[in-house]
Amino acid sequence: MPQTRTFPRICIALGLPDVPTLLEHARREAEAGEGFIEFRLDYLEAPCNGAEAIAEFLERFPDCLILATCRRRQNHGKFNGSVEEQLAVLDLAVRNGAQAIDIEIETAETAEERLNAFRGRAQIVISYHNYEATPPMDTILSRMLRVQADAYKVVTTARKPSDNVRVLAAVKSVAKDRLVVLAMGELGFPTRVLSPVFGGAFTYAAPMLAESTAAGQVSARSLRHLYRVERLKKAARIYGVIAEPVRHSISPAVHNRAFQSRRLDAVYLPFLVSPAHLRDFFLMADKLPLAGFSVTIPHKQKIIRYLDSVDPLARRIGAVNTVWRKAGKWRGTNTDAAGVTAPLGRLLRLPKSSVLIVGNGGAARGAACALYDAGAKITLVGRNPDRVRALAKVCGAEVLLREQISSHKFDAVVHATPLGMFPHVNECFFNGSIPASVVFDMVYNPVETELIKRAREQGRTIVPGLEMFIEQAVRQFEIWTGESAPRSVMEKAAMEALEQQK
């Protein structure tokens, strides 16, 4: 095989305990259209048998590129043999058709002359792994480049958001398509999508039906169809959501589908950001650079101190859920407010309508301020009377105790607490009759909450929380892109994403 062959953009990493299982999963991947598969021979009880099985696999799938790896236990692999035995396994893999081999730098440094036996027969990938942190990248690359190879792989562990930028920036230090860079862990997930965009040789994906070989891997289907890693250009605009936790956010599914629908060269990523790393996140955001991002729990209030300007309503609410960069400045607004007023405004004449808001946290505050500005008469109820009274002063609302609700009637109820949210799906604030003709539940997972079920049974007009989610996402999309949002596409993507989480 010519050494100039370019690696495909996505490599499926297979680490399985026996040869039949390895071949079965490799077959499934190849039949699904995957053309680049890593055989982690060190996962096998008999690595040599796995090396010989490559020939059997390639007889059926001759167009597949096989990367053979047999990492030693001393270097965080599973192979217990010596360096000589490791190289013998890899040599057997090449003789059976493996077109590329991965050799960790620790082995390569002690056996550089013996690597000559592979040159011209297979592409040599020299790899470095750090399971603790992300050290200075120039030091790592300086060490790696002393060993001649066709490509180099640097895999570190992200401990803070800015580690992603340091890893991605390393791509510029090596010729195009000759460096693979990744940061492991959920914090480092953005590198798995962005490394090929920044000029990295390829990225790794988890298999369809087996466990991943590294923390943070996702399926090739997600990389290819959700994040479109093979289609993004270097100038692609980068957006995302910051949260802790962030893994189960449906926002990437919704916004990436919207970008695809409008044929925009853009991608939306989940960024795991703890409160302690909010300042560090902005270091990453400036250097990537991010064009804009969504903000959710627990950052909606604290994010304000890092922004250059915040619109008046968001300032009064004290919470921002949408940030974008304009003229080099970070700007913030709150589209959650429109997520409340727009759906209700389609059902009620908001001026002078009576609305009971259940809750006393940030979501309740946003709803109260937005509805007050729309001219509605606001009443508040919540579990913390002191916080309810404090919120009432901000938005000119009346206050009720929970036991007083049954003697009142309202045009609408807005539920703004986590009650009924997955996994506590059986919880509901109202035990008996719901005192309003319109019931709006901000909870959208599950789509059919216990409150929505009871409201439907009582003949109320319902507004599911997903309507609020879509409304605020539509506003975000339009702020970021200047284009009309594909609302129906976003609704479908949200429903599909929620269904997959069941």
* Catalytic positions, written as ranges: 300
Task: Tell me the C-alpha to C-alpha distance, in Å, between residue 289 and each of 61, 200, 281, 359, 408.
Answer: 41, 17, 11, 37, 52
Given its phi and psi angles, is residue 250 left (phi above 0), alpha (psi -120 to 50 degrees) or beta? alpha
- Are 474 and 342 a contacting pair, CB within 8 Å? no
Task: Tell me the C-alpha to C-alpha distance, in Å, between residue 429 and each of 391, 425, 437, 452.
Answer: 19, 12, 16, 11
How many Cβ atoms from other residues are within 10 Å of residue 444's Cβ?
A: 20
Task: Tell me the C-alpha to C-alpha distance, in Å, between residue 486 and each of 189, 258, 345.
Answer: 27, 6, 21
- Nearest CA among 32, 2, 1, 13 for reference residue 202: 13
**295-332 per-residue burial string, b: 16 or more CB within 10 A, e: under 16:** beebbbeebbebbeebeeebebbbbbbbbbbeeeebbb
- Nearest CA among 273, 311, 268 for reference residue 292: 268
Tokens 């236990």 belong to residue: 73
* E strand residue ranges, 105-256: 123-129, 151-157, 179-184, 203-205, 237-243
Strand bridging mode 36-40 / 290-295: unpaired
Q: What is the largest CA-CA distance in the chain?
A: 87
For residue 184, with 0-12 CB atoms within 10 Å meaning exposed, 13-18 middle and 19 or more buried, which class applies?
buried
User: CA–CA separation, 125 vs 104, rounded Å?
Assistant: 8
DSSP designation for 463? E
Tokens 């270091």 belong to residue: 283
Given its phi and psi angles, is residue 185 left (phi above 0), alpha (psi -120 to 50 degrees) or beta? left
